[in-house]
Structure 1
Amino acid sequence: MTGSAKPVAGSLPADFDPVVVGEIRTRLDHVRDEGLKVLFAIESGSRAWGFPSPDSDYDCRFVYLCPPGDHFVLEQRRDVIEFPIEGDVDTGGWDLRKALRLALKGNAAILEWTVSPIVYEEIPGFRASLLDLLGEILDPAKVAHHYLGLLRTQAGRHDMESGEAPIKKAFYAIRPLVALEWMAERDFRTLPPMNMPDCLAGTAIAGDVRDAIWHLVEQKSRTRELGTGRLPAPLARFIREGMHAMAGRLPRVSRVSGGLDERRIRADLFYSDLLKREAGLAPADAV
């Protein structure tokens, strides 16, 4: 799956700025210059979530692997790489170990990165293998609580109903709530799509709310600055009532360690097998 495998470039949307893409590729080369292996690099944020605007930032996220030798020294590298934000280019990545640890806690970010439709580069086959693993170790109940936390954070930052607030910020509350609605309609047993329009299409959200969301998505796609203002009443009500309703509907996260132990063992095996292949101690195509 990895071993000596080299990254291949992904197919990017035609409207992506080639200068920006070149800058992102240069940054990924800098990561490799540090002796790290970039497993995949994707676009996150509004472009991948399905509600971009003409001036949306480029949010490149990547996952990397430290060389096997790093595991035999006391001093460990940082498990996060963050490049300075310059203009509309935001690039950052996680060590695979960090990504797996967070997945075990229910953080949905690594799942979203793994299924992103916009790929800068990837080691062939790695994302598919990682997605299989995430299907085994991600607890949908924990993921639901992760999305509720995002919803509360974003809704709490702005008075989107009675006061002036940046309209585009509403999407950061709408997106996790739509994901929660999608999960609730499936008894919180299934992980939601990354793309918000796909998520929305798979729910029974009321027509007036759905229309208001689609109107904002369409408006955002052709407007560089939505400005500030009050949200349409159906949307403001959807966020307010949905946030409180979901708090009571979410399944409790089991505190029994057995299930988590099994997930952690599976993640450990995945990671250790990957390191063995990197060290040449296992066939490169081993699962």
Structure 2
Amino acid sequence: MKDTILKTLNTIEEDYQVKILYACESGSRAWGFPSKDSDYDVRFIYVHQKIDYLTIDPIGIGKKRDVIELPINDLLDVSGWELTKALKLFRKSNPPLMEWLRSGIVYYEAFTTIGKMKKLSEEVFAPHSCIHHYLNMASNNFREFLQGDQVKIKKYFYVLRPVLAARWIEQYNEFPPLEFPVLLEKMVPVGRMKEEIQTLLTRKLAGEEFDLEPRIEVLNQFLQEEIGRLREVTKDLCNSYGDMTMKLDKLFRDTLEEVWI
């Protein structure tokens, strides 16, 4: 599959006249709970040629899009962000981008830009905004999928993971790991709830097709209480952080010089 992904990335470079700096897996495969029919969620960061930035209309304005998105099929979901878009989001500690940089499944990396971003990630990390991101994700999924007597059982993972990620930030004051098994091991104490989650995880990794099943009360109670508790925690977190613009401007200029010699 990696060969197919690399060929797709090469075609993108040729078709759009860009250079790809980094491509990784995002979604359930990177999170450690893929289904047997999970597609490949490939995310990448790319940079245009120098001349494309020397215009009166910046990238991202009007028809000059700052994303590349290929049509989704049953196998591949491929999309990428242009570098200045990525750096603006990086400056805000954007959790999806921070996850890309920490993905354990990297398909491609070229040049030094991503390594430099990883070194800067501790400086841009903003606990307040990251916890809010994960809590909003958890709340929306909890409200939409887990309220009835019968629920889509696999949706527990899409509420549990962001809740445990938020707990990790609260406890360690650092960006959480992507892998759900790691979060489960560190953030959930031994007991009935952990056993229920481990059973679900084993079923999912075995390729079992989840359908509507009775909701799991111990998980629903935990999720409801924890989302509320973490909302209160965020009120005491500092939501200000230093301005990284000068460093990121330099990183952008250095990338252009390195890539387009």
1:39 and 1:63 map into 2 onto residues whose CA distance is 6
Aligned-residue sequence identity (percent) comes to 32
SS in 1 for 2:20: strand
Asked if residue 250 in structure 1 is aligned to residue 234 in structure 2, the reply is yes
Instruction: Please list, as runs of the form range in 1=range in 2, the aligned pairs for 1:1-287 lying within 5 A after superposition.
Output: 18=1, 21-33=2-14, 34-75=16-57, 76=59, 77-123=64-110, 125-158=112-145, 160-186=146-172, 189-205=173-189, 207-252=191-236, 254=238, 259-261=241-243, 263-280=244-261
Cα deviation for residue 204 of structure 1 reads: 4.6
* Amino acid in the other structure paired with 1:248: E
Cα deviation for residue 243 of structure 1 reads: 1.1
The verdict on how the C-alpha distance between 1:66 and 1:151 changes in structure 2, with shifts beyond 3 A counting, is same
Contact 2:149 2:214 (8 Å CA) reproduced: yes
The verdict on how the C-alpha distance between 1:41 and 1:89 changes in structure 2, with shifts beyond 3 A counting, is same
Contact 1:100 1:267 (8 Å CA) reproduced: yes
Contact 1:144 1:183 (8 Å CA) reproduced: yes
Cα deviation for residue 38 of structure 1 reads: 0.7
Cα deviation for residue 205 of structure 1 reads: 4.0
Unaligned ranges ≥5, structure 1: 1-17, 281-287
1:205 and 1:70 map into 2 onto residues whose CA distance is 53
Contact 1:62 1:92 (8 Å CA) reproduced: yes
Q: Deviations over 1:171-223 (max 9, x none)?
A: 1111100111112222xx21111111112222254622222221111100112
What TM-score, normalized to structure 1? 0.81
The verdict on how the C-alpha distance between 1:73 and 1:224 changes in structure 2, with shifts beyond 3 A counting, is farther
* Amino acid in the other structure paired with 1:99: A
Q: Deviations over 1:64-103 (max 9, x none)?
A: 1122211112343311111111113111111122122222
SS in 2 for 1:40: strand
* Amino acid in the other structure paired with 2:71: P
SS in 1 for 2:34: coil
2:236 and 2:251 map into 1 onto residues whose CA distance is 28
Cα deviation for residue 224 of structure 1 reads: 4.2
Q: Provide runs of 4+ in structure 1 moved above 3 Å.
A: 124-127, 251-256
* Amino acid in the other structure paired with 2:136: G
More deviation, 267-276/215-224: 267-276
* Amino acid in the other structure paired with 2:154: K
CA RMSD of aligned residues (A): 2.0
Q: Deviations over 1:227-251 (max 9, x none)?
A: 1223322211121111111111125
What TM-score, normalized to structure 2? 0.89
Cα deviation for residue 29 of structure 1 reads: 1.6
Cα deviation for residue 123 of structure 1 reads: 1.1
The verdict on how the C-alpha distance between 1:255 and 1:222 changes in structure 2, with shifts beyond 3 A counting, is closer
1:244 and 1:135 map into 2 onto residues whose CA distance is 27
Contact 1:64 1:94 (8 Å CA) reproduced: yes
SS in 2 for 1:185: helix
* Amino acid in the other structure paired with 1:139: A
Aligned length: 255
Contact 1:133 1:267 (8 Å CA) reproduced: no
Cα deviation for residue 44 of structure 1 reads: 1.0
